[in-house]
Chain A
Amino acid sequence: MSGTSKEPNVLTQLFNTFFGKHWPVWVGGIVLGTLNVILFAIKSPWGASGGINNWGENLLSAVGLLHPEHISPVNTNLYGMLCILIVLGSFVGALFSKEFALRVPPVGELIKGIIGGAIMAVGATVGIGCTIGSFFSGVPALSGGAIIFTIGLFIGVIIALRYLIWEMDRFPSWSTGKSYNFLAVKPNKGTWQIVLGWIMVAFIIGLAYIYNGSNITMSWFIIIGGLMGMISQRSRFCIVKAFRDPFMSGESHGAVGVMAGLLVGLVGFTAIKLFGIGAGETAIRAREMTWVFPHFWGKAAIGGLIFGIGMTIAGGCAVGTLWRVGEGQIKLWLAAIAFVIVSPLSNLFIVPAIDKLLPQGMKYKNFLPDYIGYDGAFVLVLAIILIWYVFVKWNEKTGRFSAF
């Protein structure tokens, strides 16, 4: 062939493999599940709402609304930093793929972002966790409360989806109107996004290096957080999508991606707990009970339901919100800000009121192996994932439970 176009070198081809197109969600799920296991091996599993709450506590403390004595600064809080790095990692992914732009939707959508973020904050504080801590990590942690939280999420998603469909039919103007898009580039232009992406990579590596001498765990959380954000952005990994799409369009891609991550987490977490890997000086029992929260069953059900409603209205779960912040979705910026502000307030005012109403039997730690052994708990969680898989695939084919 005598073509004049020059074939890109192998490194460019490698770069394009990662950033030319979106990854299949199941690939993202497997990698995120693996990183979650590594986090647990190092310290403790992936969580998002705790980190966002830490941002909120620091913010409200800075303006004098909270007492700062018991608040850890963001730069010393593993999960506060993990959440920041998820945003930065997603920013890098969006820049490298030239998908970064400041996207301002119509006003109605901005309002839904604020309301959805605030509801998510209440759900996460009541349920002691979000779609990451109480679901993506909680279920593989063999927590009975996480399974109840998941059921609550499903019900919340179905309720909020019915609302969105009703709103679209009755008040279509709420999601239409003037929108703005800044800093967007065409695929063959906008080299500045690639350059800025490399600057951000250098910044993340530099940040990890700063902690290397004093807090090696933080260094790892920084690198893993950055990778999690980038992978989530490239694979469009979003847990609200996994729960919502089967009931909306009938698609199962998002759900299968999340299931892949759950399976990886299930194997890794079970091994860590069963063998006490990484227990160090702490008791094996404390390692077993990691990410088993005192929310079985009432708190988990209420929290999951509220969180499910919030994430569907906002259009992003905890991690879905964070990585969309990184790619410039202003609706999710507002959702994140509302989450940050409302989370500590909910912990102060709403959670104590609900705790007062619920008897102890509705808010205790339920570790499944205590009742059915490790074998039984592993098989139970595996069976739930398989039943979910069969359901979404059957529903995708038949459209039996899909709105469209």
Chain B
Amino acid sequence: MKITQTLDCKGLSCPMPMMKLAKAMKGLNTDEVLEMLGTDPGTKSDLPNWCQKSGSVILEETELTGGVTRFLIQKK
């Protein structure tokens, strides 16, 4: 799978991860994939809600070491 852009939101808390994500996704074309790295637990519930509204899809959610969660999000 080709990742078009990586968004590093490590250390950021609400609302910055979702603000940065929304802005970054605006710059992607349909079907392109964004990798998001974050440490805010809130993103785990904010992201599905945002995807439900925007139509984008979470392809993968992985727990990495150091409390980092990696999301792969495809723009639709």
Contact = CB atoms under 8 A, between A and B. Distances in A.
B12, B14, B42, B66: residue with the most chain A Cβ atoms closer than 10 Å: B14
Given A97-B41, A105-B13, A249-B22, 19 more contacts: A101-B39, A104-B11, A105-B11, A105-B12, A106-B12, A164-B19, A168-B16, A181-B67, A186-B65, A236-B42, A238-B14, A248-B15, A248-B19, A248-B22, A250-B53, A251-B53, A327-B41, A396-B53, A404-B23
Interface residues of B, number: 29
Given A168-B20, A249-B53, A253-B49, A244 B11 contact: no
A387 B23 CA distance: 29
B14 A315 contact: yes
B13 A315 contact: yes
12 contacts: A22-B45, A101-B67, A109-B16, A164-B15, A180-B11, A184-B67, A186-B65, A249-B53, A315-B13, A329-B40, A331-B13, A404-B19
Contact of B63 (A175, A186, A244, A315): A186
B8 interface: yes
Contacts, number: 94
Contacts of B12: 105-106, 109, 175, 179
Interface string A98-138: 01010111100100000000000000000000000000000
B13 A185 contact: no
Interface of B: 8, 10-16, 18-20, 22-23, 26, 39-42, 44-46, 49-50, 53, 63, 65-68
Contacts of A329: 13, 40
Contact of A103 (B8, B11, B22): B11
Nearest to A238: B14
A334 to B, nearest CB: 12
Interface residues of A, number: 43
Contacts of A82: none
Consensus secondary structure, chain B interface: helix
Contacts of B23: 168, 404
A321 to B, nearest CB: 11
**Can you list the 10 inter-chain pairs with the closest CB atoms, starting with the nearest?**
A179-B11, A184-B67, A404-B22, A105-B11, A22-B45, A99-B41, A101-B67, A181-B67, A179-B10, A329-B13
Contacts of B16: 109, 168, 175, 315
Contacts of A17: none
A198 B26 CA distance: 44
B19 A168 contact: yes
Contacts of A238: 14
B8, B11, B18, B50: residue with the most chain A Cβ atoms closer than 10 Å: B11
B49 to A, nearest CB: 5
A187 interface: yes
A311 to B, nearest CB: 11
